[in-house]
Amino acid sequence: MRANRIRQLWAAGQPVLNGWLSFACPFTAEVMAAQGYDSLTIDMQHGMVDFMTSLGMMQAMSASGVVPMARVAWLDPVEIMRILDAGAYGIICPMIETREDAERLVSYVRYPPTGVRSFGPSRAVFSAGADYGERADEEVLCFAMIETRKGFDNMEEIASTPGLDGLYIGPADLALALTGRTYRTGFDRTEPQLIDAIVKIREAAHAAGIRAALHCGSASYAAQATGWKFDLLTVSNDVRLLAAAARTSVEEFRKTAKI
């Protein structure tokens, strides 16, 4: 089985740069996979994608060596097991709120006797390797998202779940959850209350001996978060990157065109 390069980077003391895919387009994924990310995560929760398009996207990324992951839509064994069968090397699961949630998550990602994952890695034996069944439990990553009040309150118990690889912070939902609608929605929080919460989650992860990941809206914020000792930083997504680049281009033309 092809090794998970995220684990290799971590072993080498490197933070991981993760991209985010929300367009249902294998060619978009292939283009993104050529830009230097360590890993790319397909957003099956808020992205405009589904299983079949995700499969095509993972196929299109396969040659690049970028690690393919999926942010699934929910703590749902079906979706988690299927995207793993399709070759995902990591699962980021939203809305984990309790130790029991986290244990169920781990159980869906690992084969018996560790977990309850059903055996049938249809594509993974081709894309990851013929020995996938033996090696998958060691290579596949499993992140629990902390982004609700309840999840925040239970972060230590969640972090100590055997088999969990990391906590992943969703700042948009976390801000809504911790502060109601006090602040605008979005990533790259600068409010002290939220920075404090983010750092606390990072500390809980590290205290439990697992990794901490942060969803960011910009490279500069993500770079700053490497200073906070995060192990994996997600920077923007394809929709925002394209929209911003196109808008900038349009505005530059509008300003400078000679009419």
Size of site (CB under 5 A) for Mg ion: 4
The phi and psi torsions of 242 (rounded to 5 degrees) equal -65, -45
Nearer to a second copy, 122 or 193 (CB): 122
The H or E element that residue 224 is part of is: helix 219-227
Nearer to a second copy, 160 or 224 (CB): 224
Contacting residues for 82 by C-beta, under 8 A, at least 6 apart: 51
46 as an active site residue: the answer is yes
Residue 236 binds which one of Mg ion, a second copy, none, with CB within 5 to 8 A depending on kind?
a second copy
Residue 217 binds which one of Mg ion, a second copy, none, with CB within 5 to 8 A depending on kind?
none
Q: How far apart are CA 215 and CA 213, in angstroms?
A: 7
Residue 245 binds which one of a second copy, Mg ion, none, with CB within 5 to 8 A depending on kind?
a second copy
Q: Which of 62, 107, 154, 161 binds a second copy (CB under 8 A)?
A: 62
Chain positions 121 to 180 lying near Mg ion, rule: CB under 5 A, are 147, 170, 173
Q: Which stretch binds a second copy (CB under 8 A): 113-121, 161-169, 190-198, 201-209?
A: 113-121
What does each C-alpha distance from 176 to 17, 147, 154, 158, 230 come to in angstroms?
25, 9, 17, 21, 22
Q: Is 153 in the site for a second copy (CB under 8 A)?
A: no
Q: Is 183 in the site for a second copy (CB under 8 A)?
A: no
* C-alpha closest to that of 173 among 156, 190, 155, 152: 152
Chain positions 94 to 123 lying near Mg ion, rule: CB under 5 A, are 118
Q: How far apart are CA 14 and CA 6, in angstroms?
A: 9
Q: Which of 138, 153, 185, 196 binds a second copy (CB under 8 A)?
A: 185
Contacting residues for 113 by C-beta, under 8 A, at least 6 apart: none
Residue found by looking up tokens 């033309």 in the block:
253
Q: Is 118 in the site for a second copy (CB under 8 A)?
A: yes
Q: Is 160 in the site for a second copy (CB under 8 A)?
A: no
Question: What residues are paired with 30 via a beta bridge?
Answer: none
Chain positions 191 to 230 lying near a second copy, rule: CB under 8 A, are 218-220, 222-223, 226-227
Nearer to Mg ion, 33 or 91 (CB): 91
Catalytic residue among 46, 123, 135, 240: 46
Residue 195, classified by CB atoms within 10 Å of its CB into exposed (0-12), middle (13-18) or buried (19+), is middle
Minimum Å gap between C-beta 14 and Mg ion is 26
Q: Is 43 in the site for Mg ion (CB under 5 A)?
A: no
Query: Angle at CA 108, nearest 5°, toward 52 and 68?
Result: 45
Catalytic residues: 46
Q: Could you list the residues that contact Mg ion (CB under 5 A)?
A: 118, 147, 170, 173
